[in-house]
A and B are shown apart, each in its own frame.
Chain A
């Protein structure tokens, strides 16, 4: 084999190899182009499918969203969890200070004297709470979704507490009794005990869009609770001593009037305690729309127009229209006093 033949064979092999290589590359490119086209087509089909699903009923919670530029959806579970933890936590720190609360009871006492029923006297009982402090212990908050507001109810217990109660007993004898008994005007400060009790507290949580914020505004159905107080055994002993100091006739008249039982009943009926309107405050849900933005190249002002608050069984939706414009530059700083 001559050198020339070898080189010719080499050239032929080179050309063959190059040809095969190019053909292979072309086939590869063609196969890839086909694959890319098929994948793009599949991608487009899936994108259309996703669009179709998200707009339809299968879009689930998103399908119920308002149509404004910016929407916020707070699911029922999150709303309930936030409201429950805040109300329970807050109410759990509440102390009720009962001061200068009064209840009273008065009446006439009649007796059969000299063949006729005659009024032998009249009594007036007043129980005054000087000061008693008790704490609230909320139970589990229940929230119901309905319409554009949420309903809530929570059992609130008052803890047992002690305090001072002033008892005032006035007895005015009349007729014959006046001669033998006279009047009684006695005051005793006694220990009282707030009875532990559970009060159902209920109301509504209105959903409010306030500028950029979404609020739950609580409204109590009843704005007062009735606190029941019981006199201690020591207090009753003091009361008995007070009666014992009276003459027999007088004591008999007071016993006839069932003053002790009347007093117990008065205390048991309890003292109405008005709750301040501010007891339950607005609860801000954990997302709001910003009123301004600071970006890399300046500050911007946002005008947020709340457009819609929609409640569904799944979520509270807040839709807002937002316009944005560059904030005016800050005013130039005043010239130096020296300048």
Chain B
């Protein structure tokens, strides 16, 4: 060899070196450590472990009688009402990643065991072949409920975490296209469907000011005023067919009209 490295005429030394490297690699791979949760089902294991941890904490709170605090306002909505709140916004049709058109037609809601599950059923079709479609179910959960400061509404969104292809609607000559569509949907990143999660507005209004009007009726006159109230979502649990929202309440101070003007 021009580089002058030691080598026999048949090239055996480099072969042996390659062989030992290969052996080391396979032995390492084969004998690698215990299964990592990050691999394969690792994501699901982590998710389940988190859910179990959270449920154990919740059960402990219920058993100790500490699920709610005395300063917490409680709002509960049942599955049926949330279903109707979502249903009135359906059907919804969206183009996803410029490839699929998804039309959602029905929502099913289930609140059990601290899981607020929402299943949205509909139909997906390829944008370039509208006649080819499959039935799909998007599964998600009511997520991130917050108090909107301007309107006082309690809103959240259904976070989509899985898409299932239910049934191929076309057959025969179109079977290949349908399979291709189903596969393409299966391989798509779940993030692509995030926008399909409907907004959930719990139809309550939280009042951050409680007003009292003034009075001028002899012999009494009184200044108008308002009580400031701060409300924040402390905990959301889904149990026994209801989604419960627990809101921390801090009331005060009272401000009468004179004080408000002087500030």
Contacts and interface: CB of A to CB of B under 8 A. Distances in A.
B212 A70 contact: no
Contacts of A28: 35, 39-40
A1 B77 CA distance: 79
Interface stretch (A18-26, A185-193, A200-208, A251-259): A18-26
A17 interface: yes
Contacts of B201: 293, 295
A180 interface: no
Contacts of A35: 41, 45
A324 B84 contact: yes
A14 interface: yes
Size category of the binding interface on chain A? 35 or more
Contacts of B199: 295-296
Interface in B182-224: 199, 201-208, 210, 212-213, 215, 217-223
B51 A43 contact: yes
Interface stretch (A73-81, A139-147, A167-175, A240-248): A73-81
A287 B219 contact: no
B242 to A, nearest CB: 8
A85 B251 contact: yes
Given A50-B113, A54-B240, A322-B81, A286 B206 contact: yes
Contacts of A36: 41, 44-45, 48
Contact of B73 (A17, A51, A286): A286
B97 interface: no
A205 to B, nearest CB: 14
Nearest to A92: B256
Given A54-B240, A86-B227, A29 B70 contact: no
B63 to A, nearest CB: 6
Contacts of A281: 212-213, 215
B78 interface: yes
11 contacts: A24-B31, A50-B114, A53-B63, A62-B67, A72-B73, A82-B227, A82-B251, A86-B212, A96-B219, A273-B219, A285-B210
Interface of B: 10-12, 15-16, 18-19, 22-23, 25-27, 29-32, 35, 39-42, 44-45, 48-49, 51-52, 55-56, 58-59, 62-63, 65, 67-68, 70-78, 80-81, 84-85, 88-89, 92, 112-115, 153, 199, 201-208, 210, 212-213, 215, 217-223, 225, 227, 229, 231, 239-240, 242, 244, 247, 249, 251-258
